[in-house]
Chains A and B, each alone.
Chain A
């Protein structure tokens, strides 16, 4: 149980375009999901907390207009990287707090490359 599905796993896009990443909780409801970014050989950095039915909470230094988060249902959160630039190339991972004793479950991650 407590599976989080993330798509796509890998995407290459051109500079200036937008990319949408989906995160779904498959067998539980997640009122809150978390979006992380990880650069090579670095740890996970929390970008924002996605709240079902309300606005996301962004961490300091994260541009909310660039990283649009939508959490329209109890099982789906999306992250849209708008006007992507090469420096946005990274590994993006979503997470949700699963029911008791499952801790926090992560999606499989999305490798974004902006060319």
Chain B
């Protein structure tokens, strides 16, 4: 079982709708989770991170963490065509010399249709 798993998609959502992206993880010791957006040919950019159970909102984005179910999600409200990208979920299952490495899921390709 992979440490972090995502549905690779593609996920297609009409403009203005809510896009829901999901991620599961296998290591219960994971403490923090990150959502990144990656446009084709570019490096990932951080959308938000979450480490507490529940919801965390930032603008049109809401991250949800359920540690009991080992489940993380990202909701994008009022989806825009510019949101079309690959979304990467990452967790930090281990700690090395004070810094925690990230393990990424395979990414979900999201397309917002005008």
| A interface residues (Cβ-Cβ under 8 A, vs B) | 6, 31-32, 34, 42-46, 49, 51, 57, 93, 95, 97, 102-109, 111
A-B pairs, top 3 by smallest CB distance, nearest first, are A32-B99, A109-B43, A106-B43
| Chain A nearest Cβ from B102, distance in angstroms | 6
Give CA–CA (A60, B45) in the complex, Å: 26
- Give the chain B neighbours of A43 by CB distance below 8 A: 88, 104-107
Docked complex Cα distance between A32 and B100 (Å): 9
B43 near A46 with CB under 8 A, answer: no
Q: Say which residue of A93, A104, A107, A108 sits within 8 Å of B34 (CB atoms).
A: A104
**C-beta contact mask, B72-114 vs A, less than 8 Å → 1, else 0?**
0000000000000000101000001111111111110000000
Residues in B neighbouring A51, C-beta threshold 8 A: 97
What separation, in Å, do the CA atoms of A30 and B46 have in the docked complex?
18
Contacting residues, chain A, for B29 (C-beta < 8 A): none
B102 x A46 contact (CB < 8 A): yes
Chain A, Cβ-Cβ closest to B44:
A106
Bound-state Cα–Cα, A93 to B104, Å? 13
> Closest chain B residue to A52 by CB distance?
B97
Residues of A within 8 A of B90 (CB): 104
Q: Which residue of B lies closest to A106 (CB)?
A: B43
Contact A109 B106 (CB under 8 A): no
B71 interface hit (Cβ, 8 Å): no
Give 8 pairs: A residue, B residue, CB < 8 Å, sorted on A.
A32-B98, A43-B105, A43-B107, A44-B88, A45-B104, A95-B102, A106-B43, A111-B41
Given A32-B99, A43-B88, A44-B88, answer yes or no on A107-B43 (Cβ-Cβ < 8 Å). Answer: yes
Contact A49-B45, Cβ < 8 Å, known A43-B104, A104-B102: no
Closest Cβ neighbor of A50 among chain B residues: B99
A47–B54 Cα distance when bound, in Å, is 32
**With A43-B88, A43-B104, A44-B88 as given contacts, are A31 and B99 in contact (CB-CB < 8 Å)?**
yes
